[in-house]
Amino acid sequence: MTSNQRVTVLASLLLGLLAWLGWQAYLPERVLPSAVFTTVGRASPTQPTVIFVVLDTVRSDHLSACGYERPTSPNLERMIAEGAAFTCGAVSPASWTVPSHASYFTGLDTPHHGATFAPPPAEYSFVLRDDVPTLAEEMLARGYQTISVSGNPLVQETTGLTRGFEVALHSADFIFDAQLLGRLERALWWHADDRPLFLFLNIADAHEPWPDVPAGLGWVEAAEGMAYDRGTPNPEEPFVRFMRDEMTPEERTALVRRVTDLYDYGVWRADDVLARALTMLEDHGWLEGGYRLVLTSDHGEHLGDRGLLDHGRYLWEDVVRVPLLVQGTEDGLPSALPSPLWAVHARDLARDGRLPAELEPPRSHAFPNTTWQQWFGRGLGESFSVAVWQGDDKLLQTDDAIVRYDLASDPNEQHPLAVPEDHPALEVLADGMDAALTHFGREPTDADAQVIEALKAAGYLGDD
């Protein structure tokens, strides 16, 4: 071999090595075998690892941990049996991803943090206000490294939700299962350092698009997967025909059954991904020196009730009643949780390991979106809604009308009752309305426009 040939061979080997390294670095979906990368004793002896998990789109009443007849959450059940504090009666602050996460990261309700759609006649989206501190910023100030890994594409820079995270991994579209765990592995291996860890993890497997349900699970039949056509709706699609009320009763029943099967399988997968993520953290040594895990959901899902599928415009119980769990090695973590509990207190639990002495009243907000009116008609999505809970009382304001539901006797919210003029929760409703009108009176900015682009990329909005 001449020296020139030797140089060529060495250069080829070097290029091959570089290509392999590049492939490793830019193939985030691949799950690396954790045994190869296991490091022991990563957790700080003084500050516990803090893990904040949002199981995206998980409504309480479809968890076996909350009494659902299908075994959708064996891992949550195991954690509860092992002593985790848990409630099925948490209330999400909003009915879709962006405003709920913004509340979890700031402790504020939607009208005060401002990250959501603006009501008509405006039709644009708002970024999280930049003058309110985020949970990640607070954890950073306490000496934590801050990492976010999200299956939902909207937990990203343009929405403002990742402010304070030193590392924020997400994709332009939803990522599920092994893809998400690949990102987590990459975050823990490539990005984590020796400071105590604050990890935010969004597990979006219950959110559509749903994959096929495989045969052989035992509790659900095999079924073909489905993606909702909400960006640029096709009038032939079952989702669109259902929302337009164009189906026969038989077609509706069959679709609701299929969607429920796909959704329940999604909840089961979310529970499974949670367990595998915790195993990965353990393999990396992040649970050894003490940890605190807080888990909730950002909203539920309509599964045919009231002629609705999807989520985002209404505040019925199926969309706002979510789980909340706290578990860990620290002394002083709560051993039980009240119900109803505003899920925004997940932030207090993640930051401090305890609920504040004074709990805020559970409340949710939903803003109108004219796209639903354009696409689905029949008055869908027109209203600005605020709901406030006080015990079993739920006050629901839709535009100017305010009604009360007694959830103890009427859990499906079928019988609206009059509201006494001196009901203490009326003040909270009025405050939310005032703040919303003030905030949404401003002009949209370039940052708001970027959120619209992110929503289009994720399939939430059409291309006009």
Q: How far apart are CA 464 and CA 428, in angstroms?
A: 36
Least distance in angstroms from the C-beta of 299 to Zn ion: 6
The answer to the question of residue 383 lying near Zn ion (CB under 5 A) is: no
Tell me how far the alpha carbon of residue 284 is from its chain's centroid: 25
72 or 152, CB closer to Zn ion? 152
Segment contacting Zn ion by CB under 5 A, of 127-135, 180-188, 220-228, 295-303: 295-303
CB of 152 to Zn ion, least distance (A): 6
Rule CB under 5 A: is residue 397 a binding residue for Zn ion? Answer: no
Least Å distance, CB 397 to Zn ion, is 23
What is the Rg, in whole angstroms, of the alpha carbon atoms belonging to the chain? 23
Tell me how far apart the alpha carbons of residues 45 and 57 are, in angstroms, rounded to a whole number.
35
Q: What share of the chain is helix, strand, coil (3-state, %, to 5)?
A: 35, 15, 45
- The answer to whether residue 97 forms part of the interface with Zn ion (CB under 5 A) is yes
Q: H-type helices in 116-248, by residue range?
A: 135-141, 177-186, 238-243
Cα–Cα distance for residue pair 444/127, rounded to 1 Å: 10
- Should residue 310 be labelled a site residue for Zn ion when binding is judged by CB under 5 A? no
The residues pairing with 218 across neighbouring beta strands, listed in sequence order, are none
Distance CA 49, CA 146 (A): 11
Quote the least distance from Cβ 27 to Zn ion, whole Å: 26
Closest to 176 in 3D by CA, of 207, 221, 215: 207
- Interactions with Zn ion, residue window 30-89 (CB under 5 A): 56
Q: Nearest approach, Cβ of 296 to Zn ion (angstroms)? A: 11
- Under rule CB under 5 A, residue 298 binds Zn ion: yes
Asked if 92 interacts with Zn ion (CB under 5 A), we say no
d(CA 136, CA 131): 14
Contact by Cβ (8 Å): 152, 208 = no
Contact, 85 vs 232, CB < 8 A?
A: no
d(CA 29, CA 31): 6
CB of 19 to Zn ion, least distance (A): 37
CB of 57 to Zn ion, least distance (A): 5
Residue number, 56 or 393, with CB nearest to Zn ion:
56
Please state whether the peptide bond connecting residue 111 to the residue before it is cis, i.e. omega within 30 degrees of 0.
no
CB nearer to Zn ion: give 85 or 267: 267
Closer to Zn ion by Cβ: residue 77 or 205 = 205
Distance in angstroms (rounded) separating the CA atoms of residues 408 and 364: 19
Instruction: Retrieve residue 158's tokens.
Output: 């343009």
Closest distance of CB 101 from Zn ion, Å: 8
Q: How many residues bind Zn ion (CB under 5 A)?
A: 3
Residue 393, interface with Zn ion (CB under 5 A)? no
159 part of the interface to Zn ion, by CB under 5 A: no
- The residue type found at 430 is A
Which residue lies nearer to Zn ion by CB, 185 or 318?
318
Using the contact rule CB under 5 A, the part of the chain among 90-98, 128-136, 279-287, 437-445 near Zn ion is: 90-98
To Zn ion, the closest distance from the beta carbon of 175 in angstroms equals 14
Phi, psi of 148 (to 5 degrees): -120, 130
Point out which span in 33-41, 94-102, 219-227, 267-275 binds Zn ion (CB under 5 A): 94-102
Structure-token pair, residue 330 = 């620290």
Rounded to a whole number of angstroms, the minimum distance from the CB of residue 205 to Zn ion is 12
- Name residue, tokens 């905030």: 439
Site mask for Zn ion (CB under 5 A), range 162-191, x = bound: ------------------------------
The residue (of 47 and 97) whose beta carbon lies closer to Zn ion is 97
Other Cβ atoms closer than 10 A to 363 = 26
**Binders of Zn ion in range 215-274 (CB under 5 A):** none
Which chain residues interact with Zn ion by CB under 5 A? 56, 97, 298
